[in-house]
Amino acid sequence: MAKKPERVPSLRRRLLTRLLVPLGALAVGLGVGGSALIHGFVQSTHDRLLAGSTLAIAERLAVDDDNGEVTVDLPAVAFGMLESQARDSIYYNVAHEGGVITGYLDLPLPDISKMPTNVTVFREDRLLPFPLADGLTVWGAAHLEPAGTRSFLDGFAVDRGGVHIGLFHGSERSAMSAEDASKVPHAPFTAAQVPAAGLHFALVGHLHTPSDGSFHAYPGNPEPLSFGETGQRGALVVDVDAAGGVRTTRHVIARTDVVDVDLDVTGLGHSGAIRAAVVELLGGCRGVARLRVRGDLDPGIDLDPGSWRSMLPGLDGLVVRTDGVHEAYDVDALAGEQTVRGEFVCDVVAAVADPVLRRRILTTGLRALDGRDDLAVL
């Protein structure tokens, strides 16, 4: 009797068997790893938004000069963030001397006693000593009011030997000119008051612009707050010698990169060339970028800045400014045409003296005559 031939699995089945197991394991690994990566990124972004909202609220605190009433004008962007119910419930409280200015009435305050032993909290609005090491004293003070704190250095003098370092929030008067006009001075002082008080150096906060003086230093904001910031901002590492000499080293600790670049579109003959120029400028960048576009643009080119973000996967955000772009119409050539367009250009040139207004009218009218729908002027 003939032996029944043994059935051999097909090539397709053998391939599926050998590929499905490792591919399944790979898919699970990628899923778990991707989930952890996304969760970390979202958490980090969420924390930065919360920190930004807190700073925005703090900047809008004000004190009435007549009755001393403390108020806060909660910014709309911060309010929208704090009221977000998309995923988390966020609770906040802005209080002054036990009274709630805005937020939730029953929100518990942090327990200072549970802070690590290497953390010191100064609780009085005058400079008090903290012996950091043998012969080295740090003098710190607290702001008990949201605004209007007097100078910590007025009438102050150290009362012991050794090396003395000041640590407080204050506004060095000569540095205020570099700040935004809305910046309110807190605990104002002059640089000369630091050595006059017996301090060898002062580490000062409040002003966002970094600076290094002979007797004081501002580290600047650790995370970017806006485009166009200058100077190396972050943390200061301080080395103090026995004679009171101080050397500071700056370290950038920001987790967010902010890029500010310009793009001149003059001479770029088609939208593909513009897109290539955008990628060349920002393709290797990380963080948040502001791209300021300027120059003369051929009227037939669709700038389409809304599509640029998809070309830049490394960026977390992109802000495009196009107010410096002008469509490059040859007004003299158009005025010489024996057409409706030519007559329109001649009438506008004769009737409108303001060059900016004339350009806008000409651009809108010529677009309409060309049958275009994008009549908004760049």
Residues 216-234: pLDDT tens digits?
A: 999 998 888 888 888 889 8
Count of CB atoms situated within 10 Å of the CB of 342: 14
The total number of structural domains in the chain stands at 4
**Alpha-carbon distance 99 to 267, whole Å?**
62
Give residue-wise pLDDT tens across range 259-288.
899 999 998 888 899 999 999 999 989 888
Quick one: 126 and 244 in the same domain? yes
Whether residues 45 and 87 share a domain: the answer is yes
Residue 156 corresponds to which amino acid? F
Residue type at 62 in one-letter notation:
A
366 belongs to a structural domain? yes
Query: Over 90: is that where the pLDDT of 203 sits?
Result: yes
In a domain, 49, yes or no: yes
Q: Which residues of 266-284 are buried (b: 16+ CB within 10 A; e: fewer)?
A: eebeeeeebbeebeebbee
Residues 191 and 175 in one domain: yes
* In a domain? residue 9: no
CATH number, domain of 128, equals 3.60.21.10
* pLDDT given for residue 49 in this prediction: 65
Among 251, 273, 299, where does a domain finish? 251
DSSP codes, 289-313: EEEEEEEEE-TT----GGGSGGG-T
Could you list the beta-strand ranges (E) of 31-114: 61-63, 70-72, 93-96, 99-103
Nearest partner of 205 among 220, 184, 192, judged by Cα: 220
Backbone angles phi, psi at 95, to 5 degrees: -125, 155
- The pLDDT score that the predictor gives to residue 65 is 62
**Quick check: is 11 in a domain?**
no
Confidence class of residue 45 from pLDDT cuts 50, 70 and 90? low
Whether residue 72 has pLDDT greater than 70: no
User: Does residue 215 have a pLDDT over 90?
Assistant: yes
The whole domain housing 178 covers 122-251
Say what the pLDDT of residue 37 is. Answer: 76
Nearest to 70 by CA among 101, 33, 38, 35: 101
pLDDT in tens, 361-371: 888 888 788 77
Residues 226 and 173 in one domain: yes
pTM (predicted TM-score): 0.60
At residue 327, the pLDDT reads 78
DSSP state of 176: G
Q: Do 163 and 272 fall into the same domain?
A: no
Domain-located, residue 319: yes
Phi and psi at 330, nearest 5°, equal -85, 90
| Within a domain: 192 | yes
What share of the chain in percent tops pLDDT 90? Answer: 28
Residues 6+ apart with CB under 8 A from 377: 359, 360, 363, 364
User: pLDDT at position 249, please?
Assistant: 94
Q: Give pLDDT tens digits for 153-176.
A: 999 999 999 999 999 999 998 887
| % residues pLDDT > 70 (the chain) | 74
Residues 247 and 261 reside in one and the same domain: no
Confidence of residue 6 (pLDDT cuts 50, 70, 90): low
Q: Is the same domain home to 58 and 148?
A: no
The answer to whether residues 190 and 145 belong to one domain is yes
The Cα–Cα gap between 233 and 230 comes to 8
Q: Please check whether residues 181 and 283 belong to one and the same domain.
A: no
